[in-house]
Amino acid sequence: MTDKVLNGILIDERIELTLHDLEHACACSTEWVLELVDEGVLEARGDDPRSLRFGGASLARALRATRLKRDLGLNLPGIALAIEMLDEIEALRVQLRRIEASDLDQ
């Protein structure tokens, strides 16, 4: 092991990802990422596939979509629905955590 500290890039909303980045990270095909865009699971800027740009949040969504397909055998509309509902559950959990955090422990 070396003592060199590796500096990574934080994937946040200021980061732009390419189609190539996403297909590599998910170990999936270009077509699959484009299908996710068509279904509205991923949002992209640009028209020509080579110039498509994705926000940082797309990485987690693309990974999740790929896992749902691989592990649960969901089809594309099923994945889109599941991800919307999971987003909603997550938003509700955040609200719940806020309420719990503001409440005094007994």
Partner 1 sequence: MEFKDYYKIMGVPRDASQDDIKKAYRRLARKYHPDVSKEANAEARFKEIGEAYAVLRDPEKRASYDQLGTNWQAGQEFRPPPDWDAGFEFSGAPFTDAGASAYSDFFESLFGGGFGGGTRSRRHAGFRARGEDHHAKVVVDIEDAYRGAARTITLQSPQVDDAGHVSVKRRNLKVSIPKGVKQGQRIRLAGQGSPGIGDGPAGDLYLEIALDTHELYTVVDRDVYLEVPLTPWESALGAKIKVPTPAGPVDLAVPKGTANGGKLRLKGRGIPGTPPGDLYVVAKLTLPPADNEAARALYRRMEKELAYNPRRKLGV
Chain positions contacting partner 1, by CB under 8 A: 1-12, 24-25, 27, 56, 59-60, 63-64, 67-68, 70-73, 82, 86, 94, 97-98, 100-105
Q: Which residue has the tokens 């500290």?
A: 5
φ and ψ at residue 30, rounded to 5 degrees:
-55, -45
CB 54 within 8 A of CB 44: yes
Q: Decide whether 1 or 47 has the Cβ nearer to partner 1.
A: 1
62, 17 contact by CB (below 8 A): no
CB of 40 to partner 1, least distance (A): 18
Nearer to partner 1 by Cβ, of 48 and 99: the residue is: 99
Nearer to partner 1, 47 or 99 (CB): 99
Shortest Å, Cβ 37 to partner 1:
20
Q: CA end-to-end span of the chain, whole Å? A: 48
CB-CB contact of 68 with 82 (8 Å): yes
Min separation Cβ 38 and partner 1, Å: 21
Question: Which CB, 13 or 47, lies closer to partner 1?
Answer: 13
Cα separation, 72 vs 90, in Å, equals 20
